[in-house]
Structure 1
């Protein structure tokens, strides 16, 4: 990630600003979920896949590689993945957003409720 920002080429941004690189990485499918699941303790690939609702092993490994290259995740001696100090710091920064989301929890809009009701029939 740092290499992307330094080179000026960040997916979805012409500026190459570090915040854009971070948001791009965190916005990729499963990235935040992986970090969230690792916030408590290291997990093996299999345990992480189970925690991530059986995410595709290919996608999961791609995200783990990206998160490792970014310095947020590391492969431990026992073979499990865990957060680095930087990864723990990032998770601490996300916690206020999680608390806000828990308070916010909107009920689905009438338009979305109708769609959900049609699916359940």
Structure 2
């Protein structure tokens, strides 16, 4: 995964926000962060929560998220760092906004 200051898809500036959007846009990244938002999970439990994602993909995403300081190893699995928790709070706010926005389309959660 790219870090702030590095070129990413759609942006050569390396601005942190552009790098963040690129990271969050990678398949499974948002789901992993979402599943870790409330609790520490073992690799196996996290994999189950992510619809049995391929172990190699999960391992690669976790490695990248650790390098970006969003995720760390805990005593019994993976958990969000303080920076990761702050990001999760922002994602929760975005989710709440999206729910209000979706109501204008008469979207009903399944």
Task: Output the TM-score relative to the length of structure 2.
Answer: 0.85
Helix, strand or coil at the partner of 1:4: coil
Q: Does 1:58 align with 2:72?
A: no
Q: Deviations over 1:21-59 (max 9, x none)?
A: 111111100101001000110000110010011111111
- 4+ residue runs of structure 1 moved beyond 4 angstroms? none
Cα pair distance change 1:87/1:4, threshold 3 Å: closer
Give the equivalent residue in structure 1 for 2:89.
92
Give the equivalent residue in structure 1 for 2:33.
35
Cα pair distance change 1:55/1:107, threshold 3 Å: farther
2:10 to 9, 12, 22: 12
Q: Structure 1: which 5+ runs fail to align? A: 109-121
**Within 5 Å, which residues of 2 pair with 1:105-116?**
105=102, 106=105
- Give the number of the structure whose alpha-carbon radius of gyration is greater: 1
Distance (whole Å) between structure 2 residues aligned to residue 61 and residue 37 of structure 1: 15
Task: Output the TM-score relative to the length of structure 1.
Answer: 0.78
Contact 2:41 2:78 in 1 (8 A): yes
Cα distance, 1:92 vs. partner?
A: 0.6
